[in-house]
Amino acid sequence: LLEFHTPIKLHTKANVNLRNAPNTQSKIISTLKNSTEVTANASQGSWLRVQVNQTQGWILNTGLEVGKN
């Protein structure tokens, strides 16, 4: 697990599953709609741990992109 010193603002580029662990077999907490803003605070392999409102979970990094400001 790699914790980020500075959280990174990203958004989903499709509907993606927010999971309770960094693997595809773990429980789905919720499904985030396309363009949902999230804050990544750690990574493990191809997974990013993100915060969405009051919920924290894991998303595969292929479902996220940097915000276009």
68: pLDDT strictly greater than 70: no
Question: What pLDDT, on the 0 to 100 scale, is given for residue 69?
Answer: 52
Banded pLDDT at 2 (limits 50, 70, 90): very high
Q: What are 8-44's pLDDT values in tens digits? A: 999 999 999 999 999 999 999 999 999 999 999 999 9
- Is the pTM above the cut of 0.85? yes
Residue 47's pLDDT band (boundaries 50, 70, 90)? very high
| CA separation for the pair 46, 25 (Å, rounded) | 14
- Contact assessment for residue 51 and residue 62, using Cβ atoms and an 8 Å cutoff: no
How is residue 69 annotated by DSSP? Answer: -
Going through 1-69 in order, the beta strands assigned E by DSSP cover 2-12, 16-19, 28-32, 37-44, 47-52, 55-60, 64-66
